[in-house]
Amino acid sequence: MLSLDFLDDVRRMNKRQLYYQVLNFGMIVSSALMIWKGLMVITGSESPIVVVLSGSMEPAFHRGDLLFLTNRVEDPIRVGEIVVFRIEGREIPIVHRVLKIHEKQNGHIKFLTKGDNNAVDDRGLYKQGQHWLEKKDVVGRAR
């Protein structure tokens, strides 16, 4: 039998203490998870904290900046606001500014975005045949 000295502490524990160790680990993980879910509930956004991945919003946001998002659906989206949206079929959200908005009487909105540091608007990034974004694509707003 291998005599592994570092396991001595574990071997000396009885069932309750082993279970407590497992629980301790579980609680640390759960605390982190609950804080994340709690933030999700409070801000209303699927992803309350995001990292800026590209330099397309310089000089406002640089690569590596953390953004704290909110997603109040009652507030209307206005031109000039910075929104974080997800394009259908793509996992990674994009942080850009709203350029143009078409608004219908019933409140339905179509909008176009562009990164501050980009030369052209985002139509090149959207899905094939998609020219406008809608409210459902929005993950949150950076205020």
Partner 1 sequence: MAAVSAQGGRSGGGGGSSGAGGGPNCGTGSGRSGLLDKWKIDDKPVKIDKWDGSAVKNSLDDSAKKVLLEKYKYVENFGLIDGRLTICTISCFFAIVALIWDYMHPFPESKPVLALCVISYFVMMGILTIYTSYKEKSIFLVAHRKDPTGMDPDDIWQLSSSLKRFDDKYTLKLTFISGRTKQQREAEFTKSIAKFFDHSGTLVMDAYEPEISRLHDSLATERKIK
Indicate which residues carry an active-site annotation: 56, 96, 122
Q: How far, in Å, CA of 87 to CA of 134, rounded? A: 10
Residue closer to partner 1 by CB (options 38, 63) is 38
What SS3 state is found at 135?
helix
> How many beta carbons lie within 10 A of that of residue 27, not counting itself?
11
Residue 14 touching partner 1 (CB under 8 A)? yes
Nearer to partner 1, 22 or 99 (CB): 22
Region binding partner 1 by CB under 8 A among candidate stretches 20-28, 80-88, 90-98, 116-124: 20-28
8 near partner 1, judged by CB under 8 A: yes
| Contact status, residue 72 vs residue 78, Cβ threshold 8 Å | no
Closest CA to 83 of 75, 74, 91, 71: 71
- Residue 68 neighbours by CB distance under 10 Å: 13
**What is the C-alpha separation between 47 and 93, in angstroms, rounded?**
9
Q: For residues 24-83, which are near partner 1 according to CB under 8 A?
A: 24, 26-31, 33-34, 37-38, 40-41, 44, 46
Of 34 and 53, nearer to partner 1 (C-beta) is 34
Region of 21-29, 54-62, 79-87, 121-129 interacting with partner 1 (CB under 8 A)? 21-29
Is-contact 116 57, C-beta < 8 A? yes
Q: In the complex, which residues of this chain contact partner 1 (CB under 8 A)?
A: 1, 5, 8-9, 11-17, 19-21, 23-24, 26-31, 33-34, 37-38, 40-41, 44, 46
